Amino acid sequence: MQEAATIPSGRENGDGSTPGVARRLLIDGRLQETGRTFPSLNPATGEVVGHAPDASVEDAHAAVAAARRAFDEGSWSTDAELRIRCLEQLHAALVEHRDDLAALTIAEVGATESLCQGAQLDQPIEIVRYYAELLKTYPMTEDLGNIESRGMQHHRWVEKEAGGVVAAIIAYNYPNQLALAKLAPALAAGCTVVLKSAPDTPLITLALGELIADHTDIPAGVVNVLAGADPAVGAALTTSPEVDMVTFTGSTPTGRAIMSAASGTLKKVFLELGGKSAAIVLDDADFSTAALFSAFSMVTHAGQGCALTSRLLVPERHKDEIVELIKNNFGLVRFGDPADPATYMGPLISAKQRDKVDGMVQRAVAAGATLVTGGEKVDPGFFYTPTLLADVDPDSEIAQEEVFGPVLAVISYTDDDDAVRIANNSIYGLSGAVFGSPERAKAVARRIRTGTFSINGGNYFSPDSPFGGYKQSGIGREMGKAGLEEFLESKTLAEGVSCAVSRWTAAASLRWPCTA
């Protein structure tokens, strides 16, 4: 551990002005500044929160080399007790500094206070504790028993080993969740890690690196944390021959590029990518409940969630009724300053993202969709009003492409088979939802090709639940036992334990050296 340092919260000035939060990279156990920095903006105001060190390709190579040495030469991958202790230390540090981390998350990510009490911070902190506990009981060996072959008894077993050096690259929308859902299982498995923040939210991820350096016994090089605005830094991680595995959360086009880049060295690739999930309202559902869940989940974190159900499939004959309910619910959404406990929806992450969302909405209207409510930019900051589009063509851009904004597209269907067909009409398969009578809803849920699914508002998201998608929503699963196993390799071993000369060996005039 280094000398403990406090985490600037983003609220030090006390006069409403933006504080100058500064962070450092973590490379080979040392917190480092660089000669270059880049700004991180508060998306609620457009003002600068602080400056992050701008890592270079050389910094990326240094971080990978440190992780390689720590894995190859240290005891991290074989000392489970050390790993448990360090994970418990990290969990304690996150709990101790929770309020400062929350304030920085609100300032830099635009997350609301209520979200920090859930998926933006408090739930991710518990991921670390979950893997510390899981490591105490997870079986790292599996006995396969004996077989007889060529007159010899062979005892066989499987041992689980750490996958090696991991490059972990995360997105901006839930940086604490994404970082810890990769870091905690990788460390529990015995891997070493180079974690790269998203360019839009570097400060909160670098704060995690500082906690690791200041408050844990994690050996030098086991965890390295980078931030950088240059895409070449990420490219260096995905192509390095010293990296054994790449785990990435972000857009599907970027995921495809990472998979292609990693193919040169046949790295293991674990991808959590985009989604265009559908919520189906059956004709026997409670429409008010379905409309409430659909509306407020869609504007959670301003729609910046890959698993959000951004397509709402409704029975044709009930379309107008359900659209009106959604419209009324959107009118109740309070958006604005995410630091205000009364705020439900904060801003989009950047002006660029807001322009993208607005462009998709305008093109949808031009293509024939009906703008029921919303579709407006709100300044200052990067706010976009909750937006409801009706009469959406299921094959249109707005129904097929990920928007990543508070935009809900309503699509009509004729019967259950039609609803299932429309829901599965996507390159994505991350999540989904259905509302209706229990048995009928379950039957529909089992027909949708997605990795996660909610029935009548059920919440599947927790540290012990595997999360991931089908099709082009990704490869692999985060969290749960499956999340640990992503970072493990299986080695099958066999030992000769007894032998006798068989007819086969005698006929072949072979002699096997063994002891009975």
Give the CA distances from residue 227 to residues 8, 16, 179, 182, in Å, rounded to whole numbers and listed in that order.
17, 27, 13, 16
Within 10 A of 180 (CB to CB), how many other CB atoms are there? 28
Q: What is the bridge-based pairing of β-strands 152-162 and 141-149?
A: antiparallel
Residue of 306, 402, 478, 499 marked active site: 306
Q: 375-409 burial by CB neighbour count: b if 16+ within 10 A, else e?
A: beeeeebbbbbbbbbbbbebebebbbbbbbbbbbb
Is the bond into 380 cis (omega within 30 degrees of 0)? yes
Tokens coding 25: 């990279």
Q: Write out 251-290 in H/E/C secondary structure.
A: CHHHHHHHHHHHHHHCCEEEEECCCCCEEEECCCCCHHHH
Task: Indicate if 376 belongs to the active site.
Answer: no
Give the CA distances from residue 350 to residues 108, 301, 360, 381, in Å, rounded to whole numbers and listed in that order.
11, 13, 16, 8
Burial of 467 (0-12, 13-18, 19+ CB in 10 A): buried
What is the residue whose two structure tokens read 């504080």?
Answer: 19
Q: How far is C-alpha 195 from the chain's CA centre?
A: 13
What is the residue whose two structure tokens read 């997350």?
Answer: 111
Q: What is the bridge-based pairing of β-strands 268-272 and 278-281?
A: unpaired
Whole-number Å distance between alpha carbons of 187 and 182: 9
SS3 for 20? Answer: coil
Whole-number Å distance between alpha carbons of 410 and 426: 15
Task: Indicate if 495 belongs to the active site.
Answer: no
SS3 for 437? Answer: coil
Within 10 A of 75 (CB to CB), how many other CB atoms are there? 11
Q: Would you say 460 and 452 are in contact if contact means Cβ atoms under 8 Å apart?
A: yes
Any idea what DSSP says for residue 303? Answer: G
Residue of 272, 402, 478, 486 marked active site: 272
CA nearest to 86, candidates 223, 196, 195, 226? 223
Catalytic residues: 272, 306
